[in-house]
Amino acid sequence: MSGSQTKLHVSNQLLRSGTAPMAHHGESQAAESPKDFIHKLRIALKELRESLRWLKLIRHVPLVDKPELLNPLIDETDQLIRIFHTSIETAKKKL
């Protein structure tokens, strides 16, 4: 895989995993049961964790000219992971 193919592949993966949590969060708001709510949030959390890994890879390789610009995105993604994790744990306690 050439450098440009690698960048395209990673950017496509990040686009997919980075936009999926919003949709899964929306699905969780229409959950059919508390267990369904938790399931949908877990899927969103999984996608957030994947996004964090892609962002760290992009910064580490680096695949962008200014990898330090990714630091706020990495921090925000980490914060969202913590929020979703806490939400799941809170919901589990209510079962």
| Cβ 94 vs Cβ 34: under 8 Å | yes
Structure tokens at 19: 């936009």
% of the chain at pLDDT higher than 90: 97
Residue 2 has pLDDT above 90, yes or no: no
Q: Average model confidence (pLDDT) for the chain? A: 97
Q: For residue 34, is the peptide bond before it cis, meaning its omega torsion is within 30 degrees of 0?
A: no
The tokens of 20 are what? 């999926």
Amino acid at 87: S
Structure tokens belonging to residue 94: 């209510």
For the segment 42-70, what is each residue's pLDDT rounded down to a tens digit? 999 999 999 999 999 999 999 999 999 99
Sorted by where each starts, the structural domains of the chain and their CATH numbers stand as 3-93 (1.20.1440.60)
pTM of the model: 0.94
Counting residues of the chain whose pLDDT is more than 70, the rounded percentage is 100
Q: Given a cut of 90, is residue 1 above it in pLDDT?
A: no
Q: Is the pLDDT of residue 6 over 90?
A: yes
